[in-house]
Amino acid sequence: MMKKNLIFLLLAFLSWTSCKNKETAPLVRQDRKPVITDGGKSIELNDPSLIDYFKSEPVHISSVQAEFNAPARVIATIVRSVENTELNLVLFDNPDLTANYTAFLQHIININTFKVNLDRVKDLALNGAATGKEVIEAQTLLANERAAIIEDEAKLKLAGLDPEALKKAKVNSVWLICDIPETQIDNLKTGGTAKVQFSSFPEENFTGKIDDFGEVVDHITRMVKLRISIANPNSQLKAGMFATVQFGIKEGRYIAVPKEALVTVQGKNFVFVQKPGNRFERKEVMTGDQINNQILVFSGLAENESVAVTGVMQLKGLSFGY
């Protein structure tokens, strides 16, 4: 009888201990905060109560007559040089470009100097006043300088600049650079004009001249750089200023998105595309005219992708941090 009582008490104690442990076990709460990755480009929603708030709509291609806009910036200002009357002064918005262009000009000076020196050494060698070694050294100096200029020339061209054209650029003018989709290259011609509006002068309209296209199409964005020049007689336009360039485009088939799907940050336009797993992906788009409540998109979206139309400002805040 005593053995049975001991077993009963032991079972009761174990049961009480188990219940107590269950009561005091800490609650594990799932973190439902949005997960922001890839520098704000990817937003994953973990809270089911938030998911229904964000609505998306698929985009479609339609045939329309329109113009398209591209964000641009003044990359260089050309002014008269006080010290060198034979060469204008170019003020860039980027110190790296300033260094590249300065090095490019110095390479040209060095190449011309080394050419003269090589001819002199060759002439001396023919008359027995210089050795073959000295000729080789002069040739090596010239070859190295010619190789060195290529790197700086390439960097300038990748930025959409032609260094030789810069040397001949008109004084009191500015150069703008904008990225356009490669599909629009055939619609734009060198020597054509474009309407330009600057953020600093919203009430003024400027006319720019299409000077040239970049040498490279970006293999990821499929964009090419376009250079535009504008007369700047009053020096009101400064390197680094943002602008919007408007081009006249023929009728074509384009994607359109609702106006409320678009957000603009630092002169660039973005939409948020809904992906599987309650995730939104930020995409930069090139836009055109607004037709009714729809805004044309020339690049950045594919047909049938779903863009957010509700909660867009909240996604903007999560993506850009404000």
Render each residue's pLDDT in the chain as its tens digit; 322 residues: 444 443 444 344 445 445 444 444 444 445 678 899 999 999 998 887 777 788 899 988 876 666 778 899 999 999 998 888 788 999 999 999 999 999 999 999 999 999 999 999 999 999 889 899 999 999 999 999 999 999 999 999 999 999 999 999 999 999 999 998 887 888 788 998 999 999 999 989 999 999 999 999 988 888 899 999 999 999 999 999 999 998 876 556 778 899 999 999 988 899 999 998 889 999 999 887 777 788 888 888 998 999 999 999 999 999 998 7
Backbone angles phi, psi at 50, to 5 degrees: -90, -30
- pLDDT recorded at residue 279: 92
Say whether both 290 and 307 belong to one domain: yes
- Side-chain half-sphere of 270: how many Cα atoms within 13 Å? 21
- Interatomic CA distance for residues 219 and 223, integer angstroms: 8
Asked if residue 136 belongs to a domain, the reply is: yes
In the listed set 205, 222, 248, which residue is the last one of a domain according to the structure?
Answer: 248
pTM: 0.61
Q: What is the pLDDT of residue 30?
A: 56
Q: Are 68 and 286 in contact (CB under 8 A)?
A: yes
**Does one domain contain both 110 and 57?**
no
236 token code pair: 């009101």
Residue 17 domain flag: no
Give SS3 for 284: strand
Question: Which of 109, 133, 158 represents a domain boundary (last residue)?
Answer: 158
What secondary structure does DSSP assign to 234-276, as a single string?
A: T----TT-EEEEEEE--SEEEEEEEGGG-EEETTEEEEEEEET
Pinpoint the alpha helices (H) of 74-210: 95-126, 132-158, 163-167
Whole-number pLDDT of residue 231: 95
Residue 86 maps to a domain? no
So what's the pLDDT on residue 23?
Answer: 47
Instruction: Report the DSSP beta bridge partners of residue 288.
Output: 68
Per-residue confidence (pLDDT) for residue 120, from 0 to 100: 95
pLDDT of residue 252: 67
Report the distance separating Cα 159 and Cα 218, nearest Å: 11
What single letter denotes the amino acid at residue 19?
C
The token duo for 121 is: 């050494």
Whether residue 29 lies inside any domain: the answer is: no
Rounded CA Rg of the chain:
32
3-state secondary structure of 189: coil
Q: What pLDDT is recorded for position 24?
A: 46
SS3 content of the chain, % helix, strand, coil (to 5): 35, 35, 30
Last residue of a domain, one of 226, 248, 270: 248
Residues 239 and 91 sit within 8 Å (Cβ to Cβ): yes
Which range of residues forms the domain containing residue 185? Answer: 68-75+170-248
Question: What CATH number is given to the structural domain containing 144?
Answer: 1.10.287
Structural domain tally of the chain? Answer: 3
Residue 229: C-alpha distances to residues 49, 162, 241, 286 (Å): 52, 13, 14, 21
Closest CA to 175 of 93, 253, 230: 230
**What whole-number distance in Å separates Cα of residue 191 and Cα of residue 131?**
53
Decide if 241 is inside a domain. Answer: yes
CATH of the domain at 227: 2.40.30.170
Q: What is the pLDDT of residue 321?
A: 85
Which pLDDT belongs to residue 295?
A: 87
Let me know whether 147 and 210 are in one domain.
no
Q: Is the same domain home to 278 and 236?
A: no
At residue 222, the 3 state secondary structure works out as: coil
Q: Given this model, what pLDDT does residue 11 score?
A: 42
Position 84 in a domain: no
Which residues have CB under 8 Å from 198's CB, separation 6+?
204, 206, 237, 241, 242, 243
Whether 2 is covered by a domain: the verdict is: no
Domain membership of residue 101 (yes or no) is yes
Whether residues 176 and 235 fall in one domain: yes
